[in-house]
Amino acid sequence: MTTTDPAPEVTEEEERPIGFGRLLRKEDPRLIRGMGNFVDDIQLPGMLHLAVLRSPYAHARIVGVDKSAAEAHPKVVAVITGEDLAAQGLAWMPTLSNDVQAVLATDKVRFQHQEVAFVVAEDRYSARDALELIDVEYDPLPPVMDVRTALDPATAVIRDDLDGKTDNHIFDWETGDEAATNAVFDKADVVVSEEIVYPRVHPAPMETCGCVADVERVSGQLTLWCTTQAPHAHRTVYALVAGLPEHKIRIIAPDIGGGFGNKVPIYPGYVCAIVASLVIGKPVKWMEDRTENLVSTGFARDYVMKADIAATSEGRILAIRTDVLADHGAFNGVAAPVKYPAGFFGVFTGSYDLEAAHAKMTAVYTNKAPGGVAYACSFRITEAVYLVERIVDCLAHELDMDPAELRLKNLLKPDQFPYETKTGWVYDSGDYEPAMRKAMEMAGYDELRREQAEKRERGELMGIGVSFFTEAVGAGPRKDMDILGLGMADGCELRVHPTGKAVVRLSVKTQGQGHETTFAQIVSEEIGIPPEDIEVVHGDTDNTPFGLGTYGSRSTPVSGAAAALVTRKVRDKAQIIASGMLEVSISDLEWNKGSFSVKGDPSKSVTIQDIAMKAHGAGDLPEGIEGGLEAQICYNPENLTYPFGAYICVVDVDPGTAVVKVRRFIAVDDCGTRINPMIIEGQVHGGLADGVGMAMMQMIAFDEDGNCLSGSLMDYLIPTALETPDWETDHTVTPSPHHPIGAKGIGESATVGSPPAIVNAIVDALKPFGVRHADMPLTPSRVWETMQGNHTPPI
Amino acid sequence: MQVTMTINGQAVSEEIEPRLLLVHFIRDQLGLTGTHWGCDTSNCGTCVVLIDGEPVKSCTQLAAMAGGHDVKTVEGLEVDGVLDPVQEGFMQCHGLQCGFCTPGMMLTARALLDSNPNPSEEVIREAISGQICRCTGYSTIVRSIQWTAEHEASVTIGSSS
């Protein structure tokens, strides 16, 4: 019994578009056979296994480490401590925010589960066994766990490794015009204030982080198979940090089992594996377990945001200001462009036409794991959108106005684009009201409000939540944006083979987004070669041009533009060759997506495949044209792209148990030109499920002694098929004016836009209790407390 | 100790440490890396295999416990170059993105459809609720399984006519 027929609702033509359209994924045939190649699948001859010993304390001085018993284990090859690394000058490494982070602790441990030593052994189990044989003596210190008191003078100083450091302060940052904003607040009819917490969460990809390091002894060549979203950036950082020659480093990111930002940073485990292979001369594998992933790798959010919104009594929003306390953990490991220590939080003005806005922020160290930008947040836009969409709902509550109506009254109008916000961001394009109206129509908004009113009469708790978000994705431009001095641009190379098949090489790397399909479609759209004839090569620094990688929804806005432009460059050359073949001038040719024909005489034409053979074949080419049909470019975006969307969530809350059921979720997204609608829908769906997790289920929590309470998937809850509804999605299309194909990026829109819609819905359901705000995660116990008037912030 | 079982229709007999987990036996010792590992605590279900036709999380089962049983992994779904309809369904309905949870999801789907050829959406959601997917938000997985059920039904009708 088998099936090879296409789905009945999709015609064969739709399944095989030349260019954009629904196209089944090129990645799938290997993945559905279990023939993917993930890092932990890699087995090399003689490969050893590395396991990391971690600190049980959040804050403690290391008195001594005795590794003799571990070294005596018959299957142990090496045991390395922080002191061993320090002797080689490798105990510390730079973070992506120009701070330093311990590879292995030497002086102190600064968060629970920090890396203290590692073991290399012949097999996975022996390496773990030997960890228990290492004896570390600690002198515990008071842990700093409360972001609100981290700057108190009496608080212990975490980063005494930094010269002259006498407090836990990292940076202050502000944006907007404080005086102008305060002046608007002074004259406003209505001012609403709320403290809004975005708790610490974790991306928790299905595949944890890990690598296989293989240093070839004679040549010194390092090959690192690694769970990285940014292979080129990693290679350069290794070269700069460890002094390894860059041309002797090859980073291979094979299939990646989800990233969501978790696989952007360089983790101590990677460095340990490289050092181990270098020292031992054999390949070394390190794969963290789930607990290690949750307790030590890149977390997200952890912002305490005091927000004020000013408006007229008719509901015209005038200004927003915010004062943020940011918990960055023990090392400032935020992945963000250098000039943007708070990421793109400056877009907190949202989708509204304000008179003024101001934000200030203080970032502090605590004895928690480092990180700070991850979980599909588009560089802190998740926090910004949550802030504005929550405080707008608080305003609606105070004005006793419908939250959808309030938004419609204040959304930016199409003729205002490009729109410069009061914090200096230039939104490229937008047509917001149709998206909002479409979502309301899909939801049957007015009918839902009637149903809610009836239910309230009966004491039933039903909530309707609305959010409207604008994202900023696709970093650079490089003049403004770099990470550790590396400009945020991306290269792309296209080579058309003599028979008209092609290979396109990308600097970005899929972790499930479907680049092998989407990028083949972009090239196909521009040059008319069927997508199945275009191979997409990525995730290998030896075989792809330099670029900054996949995160912040930047693949389509940056690398997608590069793919389109490099293809146009090849097409321009093809046109010159075609003019020679048809013996007409270039201007007499017209392009028909796959062939050039003579204007007015379509019978005279050559296909791109004919041209490819000519480019490589016998005979002369037009004057000045070299053989071959290929090109390479590096694309530097002139601006970010600004996707947007309108989301509506409907929840029912059980008044007896406080269990929240997400009944419906309606998402209308606008990501500009749509390359593959099937993949776009998939990206949206995944982000919506993320939103359910963050809004209702998950938080990386700590006790006052610094113990991480969320170190397994029994404690850190992720939505299953039971907590998530069947998503209702649709779209509008407002192309980006500066992107060559008008596309904007979609990978994180739903993760950004869905949490406020869900929280707004739950708060709306609790309106009969007089509730105006409640902090995530809105678990049954926290909803219950809120119903009893006992709501407390989660941190 | 020696353990003997059937994997994807083939008898295997291997010397193992008694504490060896089934997932590591399958992946590291037999080299069948389509079965993935994700959490250690039976929460994520990326390690699901079928034992005597029932979905089992292989990260919390000793290899020794599978002795004498019939184990099926994702590599056993395709037979003689012919895909299982559930594999086709996942491709047709975009039921996977990164592909890491996919083998376990497909095997659970196979077991479900073998016992219930026409499950409701609710039943499908319940069946996969012991497994986590971070990419798809589940709707397309549900649709993939529905597609498979519909297609298997039409094939059955076709072959009986």
Residue owning tokens 């600064």? A110
Strand partners, A213: A224, A284
User: Residue A243: what pLDDT?
Assistant: 83
Cβ neighbours of residue A218 closer than 8 Å, sequence gap 6 or more: none
Going along A279-379, which residue ranges are E strands? 284-287, 299-311, 317-327, 356-364, 371-372
Buried b (16+ CB within 10 A) or exposed e, A250-286: bbbbbbbbbbbbbbbbbbbbbbbbbbbbbbbebbbbb
A206/B40 touch (CB, cutoff 8 Å), yes or no? no
Contact B139 A718 (CB under 8 A): no
Closest chain B residue to A685 measured between Cα atoms?
B137
Q: pLDDT tens digit string along B61-117?
A: 999 999 999 999 999 999 999 999 999 999 999 999 999 999 999 999 999 999 999
The arithmetic mean of pLDDT across residues A32-58, rounded, is: 98
A713 touches B: beta carbon within 8 Å: yes
Handedness of CA A266, A269, A273, A275 (dihedral sign): positive
Look at A712 and B40 and tell me if their CB atoms are within 8 Å: yes
Do the Cβ atoms of A256 and B98 come within 8 Å? yes
B22 touches chain A (CB under 8 A): no
Of A6, A289, A681, the CB nearest to B40: A289
Whether residue B160 has pLDDT greater than 90: no
Nearest residue on chain B to A4, judged by CA atoms?
A: B88
Runs of H (alpha helix) within A528-632: 561-582, 608-616
Q: Given CB atoms, is A229 within the 8 Å cutoff of chain B?
A: no
B58 inside 8 A of chain A by CB = no
Choose, out of A2, A23, A292, the residue to mutate when testing the contact with B (most B CBs < 10 Å).
Answer: A2
The whole-angstrom separation of Cα A224 and Cα A253 is: 8
Tokens of A84: 């061993």
Output the pLDDT for position A375: 82
Can you tell me which residue has the tokens 């359910």?
Answer: A692
| pLDDT of the residue at A6 | 38
CB-nearest partner of B37 from A3, A40, A687: A40
* pLDDT at A73 exceeding the cut of 80: yes
Nearest one of A537, A639, A29 to A254, comparing CA atoms: A537
Q: Is the pLDDT of residue A495 over 50?
A: yes
- Flag whether pLDDT at A12 surpasses 60: no
What is the pLDDT, as a whole number, of residue B157?
A: 55
How far apart are alpha carbons A553 and A574 in whole angstroms?
A: 32
Q: Is B24 helix (H, G, I), strand (E, B) or coil?
A: helix
To test the contact with chain B by mutation, choose from A1, A10, A32 the residue with the greatest count of B C-beta atoms within 10 A, namely A32
- What's the whole-number mean pLDDT along residues A742-759? 98
What is the structure's pLDDT at A542?
A: 98
Tell me which residue in B19, B94, B130 faces A682 most closely, judged by beta carbons.
B94
Which residues of chain A have a CB within 8 Å of the CB of B19?
125
Is B146 an 8 Å CB contact of chain A? no
Among A200-204, A336-340, A539-543, A751-755, the minimum mean pLDDT is found in A336-340
A375 to chain B: which residues are within 8 Å by CB? Answer: none
* Beta-carbon separation of B73 and A1 below 8 A: no
pLDDT at residue A508, as a whole number: 97
Asked if this assembly's ipTM is beyond 0.85, the reply is yes
For range A547-558, the mean pLDDT:
96
DSSP tag of A649: E
Contact state of A713 with B90 under an 8 Å Cβ cutoff: no
Is B21 in the A-facing interface, judged by CB distances under 8 Å?
no
Q: Do residue A36 and residue B136 have CB atoms under 8 angstroms apart?
A: no
Chain A residues close to B106, C-beta within 8 Å: 32
Cβ neighbors of A174 (< 8 A, separation 6 or more) are A358, A359, A360, A361
Q: Which residues of A touch B139 (CB under 8 A)?
A: 685, 724, 726-727
752-781 in chain A: CB under 8 A from chain B = none
A720 and B138 within 8 Å at the Cβ level: the answer is yes
> What is the pLDDT confidence band of residue A89, given thresholds at 50, 70 and 90?
very high
Nearest Cα neighbor of B115 from B37, B20, B30, B50 is: B50
Distance CA B39, CA A207 (A): 9
Is A727 in CB contact (< 8 Å) with chain B?
yes
CA A262, A266, A272, A273 torsion-angle sign? positive
- Asked if B98 and A41 come within 8 Å (Cβ–Cβ), the reply is no
Contact B130 A720 (CB under 8 A): yes
Q: According to the 3-state scheme, what is the secondary structure of A172-215?
A: EEEEECHHHHHHHHHHCCEEEEEEEEEEEECCCCCCCCEEEEEE
Pairing mode, strands A299-311 and A371-372: parallel
Residue B100 to residue A29, Cβ atoms within 8 A: no
Min Cα distance A515 → chain B (Å) is 11
A682 vs B contacts (CB less than 8 Å): 94, 97, 135-136, 140
**A713 contacts in chain B (CB < 8 Å):** 39, 41, 43-44, 132
pLDDT in tens, A432-489: 999 999 999 999 999 999 999 999 999 999 999 999 999 999 999 999 999 989 999 9
- Token pair, residue A80, equals 């390395």
Taking residues A257-277, what's their average pLDDT?
97
With CB atoms and an 8 Å threshold, state whether B134 touches A206: yes
* pLDDT class of B18 with cuts at 50, 70, 90: very high
Q: Which residue of B has its CA nearest to A3?
A: B85
Mean pLDDT of A141-164: 97
The H or E element containing residue A730 is strand A728-731
Query: Chain B interface, mutation test: which of A9, A206, A550, A678, most B Cβ atoms within 10 Å?
Result: A206
Rounded (10°) angle between helices A381-399 and A749-765: 30
Q: Which two tokens stand for residue A451?
A: 């149903």
Residue range A353-410, pLDDT digits in tens: 999 999 999 999 999 999 877 788 899 999 999 999 999 999 999 999 999 999 999 9
Mean pLDDT rounded to a whole number for chain A: 96
- Name the residue with tokens 């998402």: A667
Confidence at residue B161, expressed as pLDDT on a 0 to 100 scale? 35
**What percentage of chain A reaches a pLDDT higher than 70?**
98
A712–B126: do the CB atoms touch at under 8 Å? no
Q: Please judge whether B28 and A124 are an interchain contact, meaning their C-beta atoms are less than 8 angstroms apart.
A: yes
Interface of A with B in 5-24 (CB under 8 A): 5-7, 24
Nearest CA to A746 out of A694, A639, A633, A668 is that of A668
Percent of chain A scoring above 90 in pLDDT: 95
Compute the C-alpha angle B99/B101/B107, nearest 5°. 105
pLDDT (mean) for A322-349 = 95
Measured CA to CA in angstroms, residue A525 lies from A245, A500, A564, A741, B43 at distances of 39, 15, 8, 10, 42
Interface test with A, best of B97, B128, B140 (most A CBs within 10 A): B97
Question: Is it the case that residue A327 has pLDDT exceeding 90?
Answer: yes
Q: In whole angstroms, give the CA distance from residue A254 to residue A539.
A: 6
Give contacts of B 112-131 with A, CB under 8 A: 121, 124-126, 128-131
Residue labelled with tokens 């010792």: B29
- Amino acid B159: pLDDT: 46
Of B38, B93, B96, the CB nearest to A31: B96
- State the amino acid at position B26 in one-letter form: I
Q: Given a cut of 90, is residue A51 above it in pLDDT?
A: yes
- Asked if B31's CB is within 8 angstroms of A722's CB, the reply is no
Q: Is the Cβ–Cβ distance between A116 and A54 less than 8 Å?
A: yes
* B47-76 pLDDT tens trace: 999 999 999 999 999 999 999 999 999 999
DSSP state of A306: E
Size of interface A-B (CB pairs under 8 A): 195
Put simply, the answer to whether A32 touches B140 (Cβ < 8 Å) is: no
